[in-house]
Amino acid sequence: MADYVVYDVFTDTAFGGNQLAVFPEASSLHENALQKIAAEFNFSETTFVYPPRHDGHAARVRIFTPTSEVDFAGHPLIGTVIALSKLGYPSPMILELGIGPIECLVSDTGASFTVSKPLQKISEPDITRVATALGLPIDAIKTNIHPPVQASLGLPFALVELDCRESLSACNPDIKTIRECAKLYPTGLDFALFAYVRDGGDIKSRMFAPLDNIPEDPATGSASATLAALLTEILGEPQNLSFTQGEDMGRPSYIKASTTKDPITITISGNAVQTMAGKFIL
């Protein structure tokens, strides 16, 4: 048996945000069980916490989607650090992830982490294919700031700016085209799409990764961080951004992203609410 807790992340209210299962003491779990457990929960991600490998670090964290292990993701990091804080871990704490150690802070208003990993721009997918993948006309995609671009801070997304909130609501992902794009532009995720509209620092967003058993994600901190880094690079100045995601799913989430320039660092912050606790019987 192994204890777990479930949090709704990037929300102050239960039944909002993005669900996360956390196993605070995962050392007793067999390696072969981890992916099966994540698939059983079928949340966007599940985290497994282990003793740290290096002195001075709080813990090592492994992150699994329903189909694979990933090196980095935003809402699992926020949810896990808040869960560990509730269990007595002091703030700040350094967590070891696949992309390296990340310092996290916890306060009465939530948690934050800062990423300084360089932005990786992987490809510029064909705009017609991207529009079809989102189920939108091509003129719904804006290109004056950037064309659709696959980028990553440890987890890759196709970042797509849209012309208006109505187009964002109208997204209707086409699995056949997404599967074609995943073959044309292979990355760690199978052509995950992060579509957004921006009004200054206010961003409304949606994320689709249906080939990874995530038809739509209510909160994607890693994609928000990647977009924040991209905008900092393109616009040439630090950004303070507020993301609202999950509204079209009925699970609104709220993510804050702030950046520095030279070098570019990205700080993601948000809250989480515990909704469940239990034992996984193996």
Q: Which residue has the tokens 């934050």?
A: 112
Does the pLDDT of residue 190 top 90, yes or no?
A: no
Give yes or no: residues 74 and 177 share one domain: no
Give yes or no: residues 235 and 147 share one domain: yes
Reported as a single tens digit per residue, the pLDDT across 47-75 is 999 999 999 999 999 999 999 999 999 99
Give yes or no: residues 89 and 193 share one domain: no
Does the pLDDT of residue 1 top 90, yes or no?
A: no
Give yes or no: residues 16 and 129 share one domain: no
Give yes or no: residues 14 and 69 share one domain: yes
Give yes or no: residues 237 and 166 share one domain: yes
Give yes or no: residues 95 and 53 share one domain: yes
Give yes or no: residues 181 and 240 share one domain: yes
> For residue 154, what pLDDT is reported?
86
Domain count, the chain: 2
Residue 83 · residue 24 · CB < 8 Å:
yes
Residue 50 · residue 22 · CB < 8 Å:
no
We report the CATH number of the domain holding residue 246 as 3.10.310.10
pTM: 0.93
| Residue 40 annotated to the active site | no
Give yes or no: residues 124 and 263 share one domain: yes
Which domain covers residue 160, as residue numbers?
120-268
pLDDT band at residue 178 under the 50/70/90 scheme: very high
Give yes or no: residues 155 and 25 share one domain: no
Does the pLDDT of residue 17 top 80, yes or no?
A: yes
Reported as a single tens digit per residue, the pLDDT across 94-149 is 999 999 999 999 998 899 999 988 999 999 999 999 999 999 999 999 999 999 99
Give yes or no: residues 229 and 135 share one domain: yes
Q: Which of 25, 31, 45, 166 is catalytic?
A: 45
Give yes or no: residues 140 and 258 share one domain: yes
**HSE (CB half, 13 Å, CA atoms) of 267?**
14
Does the pLDDT of residue 282 top 80, yes or no?
A: no
